[in-house]
Amino acid sequence: MADTSFSPVPQREEDPGYRVSRRNKIWFVLGVVLLVLVVGGVVVWVVLRHMKRNSWHGRGTTANFSLVLQSRCSSYRRDPQTVPGPVDCTKIVEAFENAFIFKDPCKITEEDYEPLLKLTKQSIPCGKVLLWSKTKAMAHRFTQQRQDLFTLEDALLGYLADGLSWCGFPDSNAMNYQSCPTRGDCKENPVSVFWDVASKTFAQGACGVVNVLLNGTRSNAFDENSTFGRVELHTLKASALHVWLLHDQEGEPSDTCSGSSIAHLESIASGKSMTFNCQDIKSLDEMRV
């Protein structure tokens, strides 16, 4: 009669059961290790992706960004003649936000800002546009005195965004207050694309004599890679370009109207059949605009 008593786990190696259970143990352990590796890998990937999303080299979105826009929009007081029709600040703030929220901050296009450009359309009288390059503070000091003249930052669109930073995420309606991409991180970032399209629109509207304030304390007063050299100059359809090359009182001029960079600027302006004039000045009082 067969021995039905409980048969103990096979102890010896030559027992076939032993080898099977040992193999099962090995597969089980391998399975667990693999699972831990996969889960670990996914966790590391998610964390890295989150960190990458948050780790741009530029400063994050300006605190209370939309509130700042709203208050700047309602406090904009420059010559209302230049703004056709009532300014709808709620729509303007919404259009600005929609230009970059829920979008990859490295894939922003000029089209994203189209609705905002439409809502902030402004026609600056001929001869009243002042462009600048590496002379922001001086240019704004001049237009503070001469309220009839406009830099881009005196026009509604530039006034709204001057000095601010903003960017979002491709898959959330939040704004990124930690960091935003610089031009070095990616060219199609919200701020760079904004100033390029705003500068292009501003230059497109310029007519008559366009004045530009350049910095004579720099060896390359006209920098072809600047926003003025890269965007505005090539967009201008004005009749004349008048350069004011500002030198500081004390220092030796590094570049002058007879310098090579200005000669290059003149060739581009003449190529666009704009009459060209350049004047070296030591102070803003010498600017005859």
Binding site for ligand JS2 (CB under 6 A): 131-134, 136, 151-153, 162-163, 191, 195, 199, 202, 226-228, 232
Q: Kindly give the pairing relationship between strand 179-180 and strand 58-59.
A: antiparallel
CB 118, min distance to ligand JS2, A: 19
Burial of 188-209, coded b for 16+ CB within 10 Å and e otherwise, reads: bbbbbbbbbbbbbbbbebbbeb
Q: For residues 86 and 127, which CB has a smaller minimum distance to ligand JS2 in the complex?
A: 127
Q: For residues 24 and 71, which CB has a smaller minimum distance to ligand JS2 in the complex?
A: 71
Write down the catalytic residue from 89, 106, 126, 167.
Answer: 126
CB 47, min distance to ligand JS2, A: 32
Instruction: Kindly write down the DSSP assignment for every residue of 137-154, as one continuous string.
Output: HHHHHHHHH-TT-B-GGG
Catalytic status, residue 186: no
CA within 13 Å, CB half, 177: 6
CA distance 103 to 122: 27
Write down the catalytic residue from 73, 207, 257, 278.
Answer: 207
CB 38, min distance to ligand JS2, A: 44
SS3 93: helix
Sign of the dihedral defined by the CA atoms of residues 224, 230, 232, 234, in that order:
positive
Catalytic status, residue 180: no
CB 176, min distance to ligand JS2, A: 17
Q: For residues 98 and 226, which CB has a smaller minimum distance to ligand JS2 in the complex?
A: 226
Q: For residues 25 and 187, which CB has a smaller minimum distance to ligand JS2 in the complex?
A: 187
By annotation, the residues acting in catalysis are 126, 207
